[in-house]
Amino acid sequence: MSTHNKINVAVIGATGYTGLDLILMLSKHPRVSIQNLCATKNLGKKITFFDKRIKKNLPPISSVNKINWNNLDLVFLSLPDGEAQKLIKSRFLTNKKLKFIDLSADFRIKNPEIYKKFYKIKHEAKSFIKDSLYSIPEFNRNEIKKFRIISNPGCYSTSIQIPLIPLIKNNAIKNYDITIDSKSGYSGAGKNIKKKFAHKNLYSSIYAYNTKNHRHICEIDQQIFRFTKKKINFSFNPYLLPTFRGILTSIYFYSKNGCSGKFLRNCLIKFFKKSKFIRILNLNTQLGSGNILNTNYCEISICETRIKNKFIIFSALDNLIKGASGQAIQNMNIMFKFPEDLGLR
């Protein structure tokens, strides 16, 4: 187990975009010792073969069978949906101190029937859902230490929930007729993007997809209800952009009881006053994803429109970091009582 004030970690699913960003940050983290990097292909290769940014001498790619589970404190799972649940099920009881951070959707949805409906996969580890916490740290810092399985949220969902939940909690916006547009870099689709998207000029065009039933809708519904006890009526339109990383989300809504833009902005400032990674910009600030690339920050701007009481929230984050690996490290830091921003500055 952990030695010299460091925790021993393994990354399973090491060679995808998210896995590589995760390893890059973990390799620089002063309280982490990487014991295993696992994948199903390219066994024996060095991680630097996949990512020249990683400078540290790390263990070569190995199969999961090579892991000494009793030597680990934490496992990061960056796997296709359906795979993490099987692995956690097989290992949860063998080492009672071992913790897991799952970057797939396997433990995001509390109701296994809803998971099956959206992901077309039967949940193989239902009995362990109760041991998991869906965690955007800004909303549940105090709960993280109590759980052995942390479910890392989806990237779109993170960019949407961070600005919306505080405003809904404050009863500041109308809960219906909300339109959400999210535009993501193509890394969000993973390395198998060409199997998922066959449209023309993939890397030089904008593409709208999956308007009716995007998978992240069920987790947004679930988490908004969990924190606000309200159901909101929204449509969600995702787009793929010809840029590698970054998300810009636009949320169109009406304020309630004539709440001004200044009031809405102050709600967010108050809610996130202890959150190092949330930046609330001045009212009516133009916003893109440029400032947040390769960081764990989420930038938010509230803008007035020409229509009375109608506003747009712009929310920008890096889908591979605050939307995935950076948020996972933020969760890890809280889990092991490290400073929340350690290794993420």
Q: Is residue 147 one of the residues assigned to a domain?
A: yes
In this structure, what DSSP letter does residue 98 have? Answer: -
Among 155, 218, 267, 298, the active-site one is 155
Q: What is the pTM of this model?
A: 0.94
Band of pLDDT at residue 263, cut at 50, 70 and 90? very high
Q: Where does 186-246 show beta strands of DSSP type E? A: 207-208, 234-241
In this structure, what are the phi and psi dihedrals at residue 166, rounded to the nearest 5 degrees?
-60, -35
Task: Calculate the alpha carbon distances from 118 to 107, 124, 168, 230, 267 in Å.
Answer: 13, 15, 25, 21, 33
Q: What is the pLDDT of residue 299?
A: 98
> Is residue 232 assigned to a domain?
yes
Flag whether 343 is in a domain.
Answer: no
Q: What is the CATH number of the domain that holds 75?
A: 3.40.50.720
Mean pLDDT across the chain, nearest whole number?
A: 93
The pair of three-digit structure tokens given for residue 271, joined into one six-digit string: 């809610």
| Domain span including residue 23 | 7-153+323-335
Q: Are residues 268 and 174 in the same domain?
A: yes
Joined together, the tokens standing for residue 49 give 């073969």
Q: In what order do the strands lie in the sheet with 149-151?
A: 61-62, 32-38, 7-12, 74-77, 99-102, 149-151, 132-134
Question: 175 in helix, strand or coil?
Answer: coil
The token pair that represents 12 in the structure block = 């399973």
- At 263, which amino acid appears? F
Q: Categorise residue 222: left if φ over 0, alpha if ψ from -120 to 50, beta otherwise.
A: alpha
Shared domain for 162 and 307, answered yes or no, is: yes
Terminal alpha carbon distance of the chain:
27
Q: What is the pLDDT of residues 310-326, one digit of tens each?
A: 999 999 999 999 999 99
Mean pLDDT of 188-217: 76
Please tell me whether residues 207 and 125 are part of one structural domain.
Answer: no
Give the domain CATH number at 244. 3.30.360.10
Element holding 76 (H helix, E strand): strand 74-77
In a domain, 246, yes or no: yes
Q: For 93-145, how does the pLDDT look when each residue is reduced to its tens digit (9 = 90+)?
A: 888 899 999 999 999 999 999 999 999 999 999 999 999 999 999 999 999 99
pLDDT band for position 241 (cuts 50, 70, 90): very high
Same domain, 148 and 283: no
Whether residue 267 lies in the annotated active site: no
Residues 44 and 175 in one domain: no
- On whether the CB atoms of residues 236 and 216 are closer than 8 A, the answer is yes
Based on the fold, state whether residues 118 and 188 are members of the same structural domain: no
Quick one: average pLDDT of 68-82? 94
Q: Examine the domain organization and report whether 305 and 164 are in the same domain.
A: yes
Question: Mean pLDDT throughout 199-226?
Answer: 87
pLDDT for res 42: 87
Q: Is the pLDDT of residue 44 over 70?
A: yes
In a domain, 257, yes or no: yes
Write down the pLDDT at residue 210: 81
Kindly state the average pLDDT of the residues 249-255. Answer: 98
Is there a single domain that holds both residue 315 and residue 223? yes
Return the beta strands (E) in the chain as ranges: 7-12, 32-38, 61-62, 74-77, 99-102, 132-134, 149-151, 178-185, 207-208, 234-241, 247-254, 278-280, 298-304, 310-317
Q: What pLDDT, on the 0 to 100 scale, is given for residue 94?
A: 83
Q: How confident is the model at residue 330 (pLDDT cuts 50, 70, 90)?
A: very high
Position 71 in a domain? yes
Q: Is residue 340 part of a domain?
A: no
Residue 345 inside a domain? The answer is no
How confident is the model at residue 105, as a pLDDT?
95
Same domain, 17 and 92: yes
Q: Are residues 194 and 69 in the same domain?
A: no
Considering only 2-16, 74-88, 238-252, 258-272, which range has the smallest mean pLDDT? 2-16
Is the pLDDT reported for residue 305 higher than 70? yes
Please state the domain count of the chain.
2
pLDDT of res. 151 = 97
